[in-house]
């Protein structure tokens, strides 16, 4: 299903930001400056004009600083114009030489559309008026800010028509006829406008969006006569955000001392809500301003800059929104939409109505480029509503809706002062997000684009992702550098000692304060997870190797909750230098000191049931099924689901596997006996005792394993389980009758109480299309007995990298005849001859009660194999890598880091289904380790006689190591999931 999406834009932004790409389309990129050699030298050597322009652009977050080209005469300028295109010509003639001034005419005659600016060292009064070939006249004072301002003024005039009509960009009309005052005030206005815009537009969003929304700042349009000012006002009246006007300027062809007063009065008559600023060098005009009314500034005052700043901030809406009583008394202020929404709910009616009548809300929204919201609010009056409460509710709901829309699919920079807790994805610090967080960021963007999913399942199931705060790698770098911990990258230190060192290390104060601000608003249970640079990367994923902690975050003392969170972050940092990831790094030929850690702080999906918190279901789904059953096809995908936290699935414990295409077909339930044996009987939940402890959660004691029957009284068991009726030997697809409960999820998969299988199928399809290959997702589901809409939450998405290169592997008939191992259930795709040893669990010595001892013995053998550089084949019963020692051998990555292929054999004591959704299997996929199952049924086989006939060079308590004279060959056909292993 091709939705025609532009996935290059995903991870990017919502449609609002994409429209900003079209704004300010015409830019001044090349300036031709005509001046004497002396002026050119002064500008370049003394003023360092080129450097200052670039510096000014960077400081104001403006893009594409223009390039300056100097010539010493108009004749040279004309020659340059023949060679290439310039956007703007600035002429600095010698005023005592009128021939030099008049020479500028030739440029206008050559290109009438070319803007030409006259730049002089002093204010000049031309008796006949400014020569007509000059479009503007400025006075040079040696300040690069002026050049930036005149460039921006030129660009604003070029772009104003399209930008106002397309999305409603605001306009500020500036009326002044004196070149000296224009040159003085314009840089102040532009700089203050840009700085104020930076503070407010898209507060907290990422750098890309700030740069884009800078294009949406108000434009300044300059008028030098009364007639020009009136024309600009009538042309752009609906877009005017403010007017700044001199008092004495030309009207009807001559200077009029009342021109400014008349113009401002005319504006006020048309639009009461437009803020006015009267700028004059005659203090007596302050009284005229008060009668309009208009804000007044004295152009000769040493406080001019501060006065202009105050007008832009307070009157044009760029500062905090200040709620005032009718007498002007301040009662509250808001710096963000979130705070405005909260305050708007509680301010007195008279204050609320006053701001509505004066259009203060819409002006504030316009300043923040919230054009749709501003335009919706602006025409509203109290007559449109039955009462004040209805009007207030309407505005609050609109603001809340916009708040949620504006940050969808966006990585928002965390702002501790006024962050919005409804924001989906926030970031602390600079640098990379890390692999897992990149996948989450992509996931949010994906959901933002997948509107058809939301529509399809509307009313049946909501599809979302839990709100997330990430700490970028800068936080890790500062912590490690400040505490001088980089030495741990290449030292062999036990995990417990590494954790102790990190626990005692000093945590950066600025990060701690940001986390405190976050916890002030968030009291939901939190998962603190790793996001290293390489974790969940496409071809070298470190899935499951680092620490994860779950915090109740429910204690009334914020210092307690903060201590817990800081300790959890430290321990995630510490896991960077644990033995398992170090072993993995060696396997993929990477140095541990190249690894850097980001951290994910994510709200846990679930509901509180008594003193425990967990979702109804958690699980993992893959778009490619390595072990299809019956009519299932590999490309139709597979899912594993369990009640409670998804730890049950990712740790390889008992759960239920099904294909989203065939949810009623359950391979692990062929008989009643198998169904009862394989069904989930325990689940994980987060204990929430309300205690202020750190040790318990660091050791994982607050994530507790419980019997499924404990969820019967007030948990979700009744919505998920079936009941076994032993006297009849059958299962009833309900939990409402007496009898043992069996977790086969019949109400969900068979009777579709929630459309889980359908949602999984669609989400996998969408994610696979977006990522360009097979994917794996982690998910959680909330279900409610009170009729609320069920919630499907996507927790993670990552590529299934084993299928990155399915080159053709051919298994010939003679291979099958000669093979000592043949399997129809093989993971991976490979043809290799690097195995020189076979390490196997001795069938005569295996004891299901001693799988932990077996794992330790394997680890000891692995150390020697790695030291000798010998790849080996590992053979043993049950589910490898399971955290449940009764399902298989609980090896970790450090125990098997030298393995090339693994065989899982059938065992009467450990009859279990494969666990494709576990982190163990994901890392096998990444490393190209082939995982081969030899079940009891079917054509698969393993020649134990041949294996045990090879002389053992080691014969341990549980294992034997057989050294081969020649390497054996392993062939795995990933397209058919078949494998043969051939003697050398």
**Helical segments of 298-336, H only:** 304-310
Please give the C-alpha separations between residue 128 and each of 180, 207, 795, in angstroms, as whole numbers: 18, 49, 73
Rg, Å, the chain Cα set: 36
The answer to whether 257 and 248 are in contact (CB under 8 A) is yes
Task: Give residue 921's pLDDT.
Answer: 58
Please give the C-alpha separations between residue 567 and each of 351, 485, 548, 555, in angstroms, as whole numbers: 46, 16, 12, 16
The answer to whether 120 and 92 are in contact (CB under 8 A) is yes
Cross-strand partners of 822: 941, 980
Residue 17 is classified by DSSP as H
Task: Give residue 826's pLDDT.
Answer: 85
According to DSSP, the β-strands at 607-609 and 612-614 are: antiparallel
Query: What kind and span of H or E run contains 739?
Result: none
The answer to whether 218 and 169 are in contact (CB under 8 A) is yes
According to DSSP, the β-strands at 597-603 and 468-471 are: antiparallel
The answer to whether 976 and 832 are in contact (CB under 8 A) is no
Rounded to 5°, the CA angle 636-639-644 comes to: 165
Class of residue 707 by CB neighbours under 10 A (exposed 0-12, middle 13-18, buried 19+): exposed
Between CA 684 and CA 617 the distance in angstroms is 11
Task: Give residue 104's pLDDT.
Answer: 85
Between CA 57 and CA 166 the distance in angstroms is 26
* 0.75 surpassed by pTM: no
The answer, yes or no, to whether the previous bond of 488 is cis (omega within 30 of 0) is: no
| Residue among 718, 708, 777 nearest 753 (CA) | 718
Between CA 313 and CA 320 the distance in angstroms is 8
Between CA 980 and CA 684 the distance in angstroms is 39
Task: Give residue 808's pLDDT.
Answer: 77
Between CA 774 and CA 827 the distance in angstroms is 14
Residue 956 is classified by DSSP as -
Q: Look-up: residue for tokens 């008594």?
A: 610
Distance of CA 818 to the CA centre of its chain: 53
Question: Phi, psi at residue 883, to the nearest 5°?
Answer: -80, -15
Please give the C-alpha separations between residue 881 and each of 777, 892, 896, 923, in angstroms, as whole numbers: 20, 6, 10, 11
- Residue 754, token pair as written in the block: 């929630």
Cross-strand partners of 932: 826, 903
Residue 221, C-beta contacts closer than 8 angstroms, at least 6 positions apart: 156, 157, 160, 171, 172, 173, 174, 232, 236
The answer to whether 569 and 471 are in contact (CB under 8 A) is yes
Between CA 207 and CA 257 the distance in angstroms is 47
Between CA 131 and CA 205 the distance in angstroms is 47
The number of residues making up the chain comes to 984
Between CA 252 and CA 250 the distance in angstroms is 7
Question: HEC profile for 537-571?
Answer: CCCCCCCCCCCEEEECCCCCCHHHHHHHHHHHHHH
CB burial string 246-260: b at 16+ within 10 A, e below = bbbbbbeeeebeebb
Task: Give residue 317's pLDDT.
Answer: 81
Coil, helix or strand at residue 287: helix
The answer to whether 800 and 535 are in contact (CB under 8 A) is no
- Residue 408, token pair as written in the block: 């969808």
Q: Look-up: residue for tokens 């999984």?
A: 760
| Residue among 629, 637, 627 nearest 665 (CA) | 629
Low-confidence stretches of the chain (pLDDT < 70) are 1-21, 42-64, 95-97, 196-214, 406-410, 533-545, 584-595, 626-630, 694-700, 801-807, 910-928
Between CA 967 and CA 162 the distance in angstroms is 72
**Helical segments of 125-173, H only:** 144-167
């Amino acid at each position: 299903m091709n939705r025609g999406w532009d996935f290059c834009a995903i991870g990017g932004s919502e449609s609002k930001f994409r429209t900003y790409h079209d704004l300010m389309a015409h830019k001044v990129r090349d300036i031709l400056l005509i001046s004497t050699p002396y002026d050119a030298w002064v500008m370049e050597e003394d003023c360092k004009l080129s450097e200052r322009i670039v510096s000014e652009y960077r400081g104001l977050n403006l893009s594409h600083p223009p390039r300056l080209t100097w010539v010493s005469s108009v004749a040279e300028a004309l020659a340059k114009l023949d060679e290439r295109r310039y956007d703007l010509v600035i002429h600095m003639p010698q005023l005592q030489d009128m021939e030099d001034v008049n020479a500028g005419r030739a440029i206008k005659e050559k290109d009438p559309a070319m803007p030409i600016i006259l730049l002089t060292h002093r204010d000049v009064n031309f008796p006949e008026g400014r020569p007509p070939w000059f479009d503007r006249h400025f006075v040079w004072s040696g300040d690069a800010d002026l050049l930036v301002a005149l460039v921006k003024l030129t660009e604003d005039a070029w772009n104003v028509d399209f930008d106002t009509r397309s999305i409603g960009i605001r306009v500020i009309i500036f009326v002044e006829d004196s070149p000296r005052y224009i040159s003085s005030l314009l840089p102040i206005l532009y700089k203050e406008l840009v700085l104020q815009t930076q503070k407010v537009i898209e507060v907290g969003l990422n750098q890309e969006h700030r740069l884009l929304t800078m294009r949406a700042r108000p434009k300044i349009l300059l008028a030098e006569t009364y007639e020009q000012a009136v024309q600009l006002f009538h042309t752009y009246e609906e877009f005017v955000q403010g007017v700044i006007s001199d008092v004495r300027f030309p009207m009807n062809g001559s200077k009029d001392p009342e021109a400014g007063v008349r113009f401002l009065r005319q504006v006020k008559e048309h639009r009461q809500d437009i803020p006015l600023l009267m700028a004059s060098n005659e203090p007596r005009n302050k009284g005229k301003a008060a009668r309009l009314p208009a804000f007044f500034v004295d152009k000769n005052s040493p406080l001019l800059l501060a006065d202009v700043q105050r007008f832009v901030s307070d009157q044009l809406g760029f500062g905090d929104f200040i709620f005032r009583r009718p007498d002007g008394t301040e009662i509250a202020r808001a710096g963000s939409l979130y705070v405005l929404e909260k305050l708007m709910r509680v301010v007195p009616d008279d204050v609320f109505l006053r701001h509505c009548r004066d259009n203060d809300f819409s002006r504030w929204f316009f300043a923040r480029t919230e054009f749709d919201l501003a335009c919706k609010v602006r025409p509203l009056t109290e007559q449109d509503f039955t009462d004040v409460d209805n009007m207030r509710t309407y505005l609050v709901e609109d603001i809340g809706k916009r708040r949620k829309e504006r940050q969808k699919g966006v990585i928002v920079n965390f702002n501790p002062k006024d962050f919005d807790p409804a924001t989906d994805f926030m970031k602390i610090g600079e640098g990379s997000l890390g692999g897992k967080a990149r996948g989450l960021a992509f996931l949010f963007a994906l959901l933002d684009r997948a509107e058809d999913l939301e529509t399809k399942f509307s009313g049946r199931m909501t599809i979302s992702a839990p709100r997330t705060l990430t700490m970028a790698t800068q936080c890790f770098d500062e912590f490690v550098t400040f505490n001088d911990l980089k030495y741990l990258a290449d030292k062999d230190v036990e995990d417990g000692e590494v954790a102790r060192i990190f626990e005692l290390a000093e945590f950066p104060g600025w990060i701690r304060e940001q986390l405190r601000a976050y916890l002030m608003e968030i009291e939901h249970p939190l998962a603190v997870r790793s996001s290293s640079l390489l974790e969940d990367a496409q071809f070298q994923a470190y899935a499951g190797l680092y620490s994860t902690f779950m915090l109740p975050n429910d204690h009334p003392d914020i210092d307690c909750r903060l201590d817990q969170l800081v300790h959890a972050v430290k321990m995630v940092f510490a896991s960077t230098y644990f033995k398992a990831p170090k072993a993995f790094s060696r396997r993929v030929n990477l140095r541990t000191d190249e690894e850097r850690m980001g951290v994910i702080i994510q709200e846990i999906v679930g509901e509180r049931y008594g003193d425990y918190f967990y979702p109804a279901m958690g699980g993992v789904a893959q778009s490619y099924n390595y072990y299809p059953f019956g009519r299932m096809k590999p490309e139709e995908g597979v899912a594993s689901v369990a009640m409670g936290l998804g730890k049950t699935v990712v740790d390889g414990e008992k759960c239920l596997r099904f294909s989203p295409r065939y949810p009623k077909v359950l391979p692990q339930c062929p008989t009643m006996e198998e169904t009862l044996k394989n069904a989930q009987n325990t689940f994980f939940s987060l204990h929430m005792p309300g205690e202020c402890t750190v040790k318990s959660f660091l050791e994982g004691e607050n994530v507790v394993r419980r019997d499924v029957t404990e969820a019967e009284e007030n948990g979700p068991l009744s919505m998920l389980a079936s009941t076994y009726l032993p006297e009849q030997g059958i299962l009833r697809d309900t939990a409402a009758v007496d009898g043992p409960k069996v977790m086969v999820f019949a109400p969900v998969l068979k009777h579709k109480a929630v459309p889980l299988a359908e949602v999984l199928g669609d989400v996998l399809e969408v994610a696979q299309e977006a990522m360009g290959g097979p994917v794996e997702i982690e998910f959680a589901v909330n279900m409610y007995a009170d009729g609320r809409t069920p919630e499907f939450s996507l927790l993670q998405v990552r590529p299934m990298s084993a299928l990155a290169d399915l080159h053709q592997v051919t298994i010939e008939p003679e291979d099958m005849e000669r093979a000592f191992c043949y399997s129809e259930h093989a993971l991976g795709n490979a043809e290799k001859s690097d195995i020189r040893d076979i390490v196997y669990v001795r069938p005569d010595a295996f004891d299901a009660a001693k799988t932990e001892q077996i794992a330790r013995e394997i680890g000891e053998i692995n150390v020697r194999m790695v030291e000798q550089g010998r790849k080996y084949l590992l053979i043993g019963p049950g589910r490898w890598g399971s955290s449940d020692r009764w399902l298989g051998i609980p090896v970790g990555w450090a125990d098997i880091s030298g393995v090339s292929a693994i065989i899982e054999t059938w065992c009467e004591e450990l009859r279990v289904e494969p666990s494709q959704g576990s982190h163990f299997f994901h890392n096998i996929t990444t490393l190209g380790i082939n995982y081969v199952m030899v079940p009891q049924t079917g054509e698969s086989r393993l020649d134990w006689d041949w294996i045990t006939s090879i002389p053992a060079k080691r014969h341990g308590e549980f294992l034997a190591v057989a050294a081969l004279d020649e390497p054996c060959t392993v062939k795995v056909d990933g397209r058919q999931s078949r494998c043969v292993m051939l003697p050398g």
